[in-house]
Structure 1
């Protein structure tokens, strides 16, 4: 059996009103979801597995159809998020037009939230819910036996016009048992980041599930139970990547520092093996301290991403962040004192927020002086508590996301929280926020003094031009 796993183009991605300034979120990053599935299939089956990362390969729709036809896959798997749904559907249409008998399987957070709506989209044969490695493998092995498929958890399909949903598969508690993502099936040298000191880069997950209850965030397909890989397993993957020529890692765990001892063990193991690498993590300001920062620095952790979100205590309470502005100040100072760079995430246009609170957040960003600030317009994502509250209270007039999932159309704009601002007003504030942070002479001078190569200068210059050229 030939299996082709596709990371779809992003030509129609729903970016909403948030311009891409910090490109580490929008650059070429390995599609870890399908790479985990590819690695699992390679270890446990004899199937011929290929990965097509159209974004890294810069493959548009003008070429994609002929590439799919040349490969003649029996099964195509496509990673699916709500924001990429239009492109996913275009890929599905292409697959069915050039290879009508190929089975199309969608997986990812969108299909987990909206299984009924997704399985009825034209050309979609199967959905894989939740963590997909085992379910995808068992689906592929039994794809022509619908009686058997009904007993495999984590699948959705149709039979005689009736939707069959076998329910979610229990979460995998033994993440060390999973093979590493099949990075060798991707164009490794093409993955990069604006902030990285080295190329190529890769992303990693060392855990799954987030126990925190921020009202604006939800990853239902991964659950709320924190499940972590062992320190040895994590560093084994890093060492395997080094052998592929990769020395820069972006750890994409929601919160890397939940298990303090595991962080220390990872750092000790990197140091013991003398790995010449650099890496970034995501952390909360309230579960990190000076000793941990020292350990991270010794293991050459170069940057920490903190979700600050707001400079106003009441907005932080509404978002259920569980942090204080004073703790943010303390942690940022301690991180800088340790010699580790900081990226800070902020949102504007949150529930109950007025211009006063937004200006407090913008001023707070300047006060903290992170190396990078990623500022977005608050978007109520599907399945989040805030989205449900917005519908209940009438701030969100109708279920935008469900309607889009049922009938995705090009040109759809993700909703913002229009309680005190129009979309145009909040866009103007976003432009002001970015310019007030990035166009400060002190910031520009600092960034220029930290540039280490002509390539980095070019990347920084491009990002700077984006900020200067922003329009509301």
Structure 2
């Protein structure tokens, strides 16, 4: 009888359109070690299973190991899942960002073992040690409880040659969990081609340490071709923190894509200090259609507090940062590459006047932001400078447990999907901001939301009258949804549920 392993991710209310990369990677490793792999991502956009269904699955399949992937923002939901399956699971291994920084907490909540950081080497060695019944103290990069005592082994070595890591096997994931229409096959087109980041942003936590490494251009090209042939994908999304850091590798990849006439469209995210006109030109020629820029702010004091800096002649210059953003937006417009912009607010030194400046900045650049804005209010992640500096002072040491979910049963109101996507973030008042501050930040995110809604409709309809009609319909329906929700969340859900489902028909109208 084959050994069995079940990978789980809890439902959080913010659906995953794509399979978790960790499951595809670790699933391949488990398969190589002789395990029969099953994946249940309860957070997949079309997975309707509940925790109770997982209990029945464990009873029926009786896996030797259950692996749970845990993000800090979803820790509460993951703990609920672990609590429910604990009486039926033989062994629970937790991995991901949250177990990396809070392993003892994970064990207290019911897991048997926590895997720290990059898991490819330590997870393989852990599987072998468990199967051979060897001493777990010799397995690097794990934390476990033995006879009531918590043991932390020495850290696992950083993986420098990423080409040696097995190619992720996405076949473990059920297509029906992520795909309803043909266009959604591209949800399987995610590639992680780098690890780490040379940046030292004070709000950012990286599972992969600060040591920057990258997969070779040849290996990235091979994975793109594999995904295209296997899943008939024609669009690849690179999920790296900063895809363009290694300029030489970028040009090598672009050359391979152009030379082999692959016709694969792709997107990536990056920092503004690792992008120039020549790179954008090469990327466009090689099929790049979208770049997500980590702009975050236009405020000099916030950029400095984030450690988002550009040096001119060795001197830190925040104004040069804003100038650089304008140049990149202009170049992307020149080469007809869509641009999305990340915006992050909610730092303890910000005041209402700062949000007014941000509003003016968004109004100024939005015409060149052709994909839309992404943003939110800072959630200080454990393990970051912002968390270490302010958590005790402001009393949010365990916010991922203490803060109750805003939406019941993970339901998201209509207006948070198409208009005020970051409305939920307004309730995360970590730094005890004034009402005036939240009033201005609410205006900021409404400006961003209206522009995003306009982009959403413009990309799906060519006719001006159609764009105007659909935009107005979605906007007014969102305002009505917001009004209903303030009166009665249950009433909003009852009246808007069918409208929300109908609205999804526009999602694939045009891209």
Change (3 A) 1:426 1:51: farther
> In the TM superposition, what are the counterparts of 1:328-343 in structure 2 within 5 Å?
328-343=325-340
Query: Contact 2:33–2:127 at 8 Å: present in 1 too?
Result: no
* Separation in structure 2 between the aligned mates of residue 213 and residue 166 of structure 1, nearest angstrom: 27
* Separation in structure 2 between the aligned mates of residue 463 and residue 229 of structure 1, nearest angstrom: 42
Change (3 A) 1:432 1:409: closer
Find the partner of 2:6 among 4, 7, 11: 4
- 1:98-137 Cα offsets, whole Å, 9 max, x none, are x34x210000111110112222223x11111111122122
For residue 73 of structure 2, what is the aligned residue in structure 1?
A: 83
* Separation in structure 2 between the aligned mates of residue 435 and residue 182 of structure 1, nearest angstrom: 40
Give the secondary structure class of the aligned counterpart of 2:199.
coil
For residue 500 of structure 2, what is the aligned residue in structure 1?
A: none
Change (3 A) 1:464 1:141: farther
Change (3 A) 1:399 1:96: closer
- 1:67-124 Cα offsets, whole Å, 9 max, x none, are 2322221101111111111222222233233x34x210000111110112222223x1
* Separation in structure 2 between the aligned mates of residue 462 and residue 250 of structure 1, nearest angstrom: 31
For residue 40 of structure 1, what is the aligned residue in structure 2?
A: 29
Change (3 A) 1:130 1:322: same
For residue 151 of structure 1, what is the aligned residue in structure 2?
A: 138
Give the secondary structure class of the aligned counterpart of 2:280.
helix
**How many residues are matched?**
440
* Separation in structure 1 between the aligned mates of residue 142 and residue 391 of structure 2, nearest angstrom: 29
* Separation in structure 2 between the aligned mates of residue 40 and residue 346 of structure 1, nearest angstrom: 37
Give the secondary structure class of the aligned counterpart of 2:356.
helix
Q: CA deviation at 1:462?
A: 9.8
For residue 348 of structure 2, what is the aligned residue in structure 1?
A: 351
For residue 214 of structure 1, what is the aligned residue in structure 2?
A: 201
* Separation in structure 1 between the aligned mates of residue 473 and residue 131 of structure 2, nearest angstrom: 50
For residue 100 of structure 2, what is the aligned residue in structure 1?
A: 112
Q: What's the Cα RMSD here?
A: 3.0
Q: Quick check: which one's helix share is greater?
A: 2
* Separation in structure 1 between the aligned mates of residue 457 and residue 391 of structure 2, nearest angstrom: 46
Change (3 A) 1:215 1:466: farther
1:268 aligns with 2:255: yes
Find the partner of 1:327 among 317, 324, 327: 324
Which is further off, 288-297 or 383-392? Answer: 383-392
TM-score, length of structure 2 as denominator length: 0.78
* Separation in structure 2 between the aligned mates of residue 349 and residue 63 of structure 1, nearest angstrom: 39
For residue 93 of structure 1, what is the aligned residue in structure 2?
A: 83
1:58 aligns with 2:48: yes
Give the secondary structure class of the aligned counterpart of 1:169.
coil
Q: CA deviation at 1:276?
A: 2.6
- 1:333-379 Cα offsets, whole Å, 9 max, x none, are 11121110011011222231111111111221221121201131122
Change (3 A) 1:367 1:410: closer
* Separation in structure 2 between the aligned mates of residue 66 and residue 462 of structure 1, nearest angstrom: 43
Query: Contact 1:209–1:223 at 8 Å: present in 2 too?
Result: yes
Residue ranges of structure 2 left out of the alignment (5+ in a row): 311-320, 407-424, 487-511
1:225 aligns with 2:220: no
Give the secondary structure class of the aligned counterpart of 1:143.
helix
